[in-house]
Structure 1
């Protein structure tokens, strides 16, 4: 016979309604009582009836995430961090790699409480595509003008990278990243690079601004090969993403380039993977933990009261020094 809240109520010595509130993490229940209820539920092997709970709370405890790519390490790492934080709040993340509109339709059939999208997925939606009927949050540029978004100041991040390299004596600094017409994220990085050079009084050398034509490690590898073929190589490189940086690093190591002695590297994407490479990479951007915290908090707020959300939450980038510069 399956365990019910009545069994938990009997073991803990509180009412049925208190058990139900505690399992739903209600602020009306004392933390000590919540702890006892949760421990009793675990020891008894209690499994909540999601269908029944949704009828009472009008929520399913599900959050749909439209995932643009399983191939990019930075996205995978961030999604994992967000999923872990949602789990601590009693929410389950559902991932979909389908086209955005198809993913949204699936999530709505499953009656998710909110939907999270990345800018890359949002851009694949057309102006006539129907918006979700549940709260939606984007990471990056908003899906629509009135749709809430958590974003990072990418222009400021690349400016910070240039400033740190100039501070270390570099003047021949390359930037590697895709220039995608539809992506404000990537254009902001290019603009930040150019503005930072201008601010430092360094003339822009067109050959040092490389369009990687993608964000995979292979794109970074081939861009690095182009840099190494130049008669006058750069003394420092800024990468537009972790995956690009891993490809750049692979190309440099294959040619016997000493990092940072021959060429220094600073990369966008402030994720833990950076310090796990053969040469730990210095990075700029919003630390993954802070970004995941902000996204999770905003999702929870959206579920409680979507009308109270700010249209845009812009996070401030940071620089971390490691061995690559």
Structure 2
């Protein structure tokens, strides 16, 4: 049987109210009494009933994160940084890779304080019946939603990478990315790459990475290189795709200038000099947390789109 506050009160010879106050560090209880009660609670293996507390305070201090996967470096890096930012604010984070609507509904039933969602398109759009009852913020692209969105401007990042390669003298550029996808982020990267190359009169090719994983990209690029060669200027759609590319370049890597989407610190561990482009992941994480906690605090629904500016970093 679970140990209750009444059990601790009985063992300590004090009232239920005194135990409750002591475990909350109330100044109404002396330090000596607090110490006795806390030691007894530890001895009896007492576990606080946070569900009961949340019913009283209407706060669980728990945030739900709905994420597409946990097998990609950039995604797990951002999730970890969101967790760190929430932890500093006294929140606990729970991550789900379940269907977004199912996950959000469960978070709502469990009385979580808010939800952060990785917005990929219509299949990840949360319905009004959920968003009216729990604060939500999305990491996505600019589109109309019933909740705020952090937009990292993937289109501007692609333009920055293309212009940087042109400034280095490249007139032929390859894009390696997830070409066949419904993920709006990847679609924006792909479409912007094509339109901006056409606008700048640059010759380009689109090479399908076979998805967003390092292993899939490595296989796809290996198959491409059987019958063809890569151009000197290359833009990769993600950190993991870049890792897949490097498996295949080996001694020929210095013949290429590589730009990669995802501005994360893991690039520093790669021996090959690479330009990364995008909003630094810790800035994305902090903005997601700040916007969500403000919504929780004010209890106001807004549809704002927070624009973040990408940067190029030479790793």
Class of the TM-score when normalised by the shorter of the 2 chains: 0.7 to 0.9
State the match for 2:130 in structure 1.
131
State the match for 1:221 in structure 2.
218
Q: How does 1:36-51 map to 2 (within 5 A)?
A: 49-51=49-51
Q: Secondary structure at the match of 2:211?
A: coil
State the match for 1:245 in structure 2.
242
CA contact (8 A) 1:275 1:281 kept: no
Q: CA deviation at 1:52?
A: 4.6
Query: Which of residues 271, 275, 281 is equivalent to 1:282?
Result: 275
C-alpha spacing 1:234/1:9, structure 2 compared with 1 (3 Å) = closer
Distance 2:142 2:172 in 1: 35
What TM-score does the superposition give when structure 2 sets the normalisation length? 0.80
What are structure 1's unaligned runs of at least 5 residues?
17-40
C-alpha spacing 1:50/1:165, structure 2 compared with 1 (3 Å) = same
Q: How does 1:133-172 map to 2 (within 5 A)?
A: 133-141=133-141, 145-172=145-172
State the match for 1:31 in structure 2.
none
Q: Secondary structure at the match of 1:268?
A: strand
Greater Cα offset, 155-164 or 98-107: 98-107
**Deviation digits for residues 182-233 of structure 1 (CA, Å, limit 9, x no counterpart):** 332112112322233234332x34xx11232411113322343355345553
**Deviation digits for residues 240-285 of structure 1 (CA, Å, limit 9, x no counterpart):** 01111110111112xx31x3x3112110011111212242532000
CA contact (8 A) 2:180 2:208 kept: no
C-alpha spacing 1:141/1:154, structure 2 compared with 1 (3 Å) = closer
State the match for 2:75 in structure 1.
75
State the match for 1:263 in structure 2.
256
Q: Secondary structure at the match of 1:233?
A: coil
1:98 and 2:98 matched: yes
CA contact (8 A) 2:54 2:111 kept: no
Q: CA deviation at 1:127?
A: 8.6
Whose Rg is larger?
2
1:175 and 2:175 matched: yes
Q: Secondary structure at the match of 1:265?
A: strand
Q: CA deviation at 1:100?
A: 1.7
Equivalences, count: 287
Q: Secondary structure at the match of 1:250?
A: helix
CA contact (8 A) 1:215 1:243 kept: yes
C-alpha spacing 1:129/1:8, structure 2 compared with 1 (3 Å) = closer
CA contact (8 A) 1:215 1:241 kept: yes
Q: Secondary structure at the match of 1:307?
A: coil
C-alpha spacing 1:233/1:52, structure 2 compared with 1 (3 Å) = closer
Distance 1:57 1:160 in 2: 48
C-alpha spacing 1:170/1:196, structure 2 compared with 1 (3 Å) = same
C-alpha spacing 1:71/1:83, structure 2 compared with 1 (3 Å) = same
Distance 1:143 1:163 in 2: 26
**Deviation digits for residues 61-97 of structure 1 (CA, Å, limit 9, x no counterpart):** 1111112111111111100000011011111101112
Distance 1:49 1:5 in 2: 15
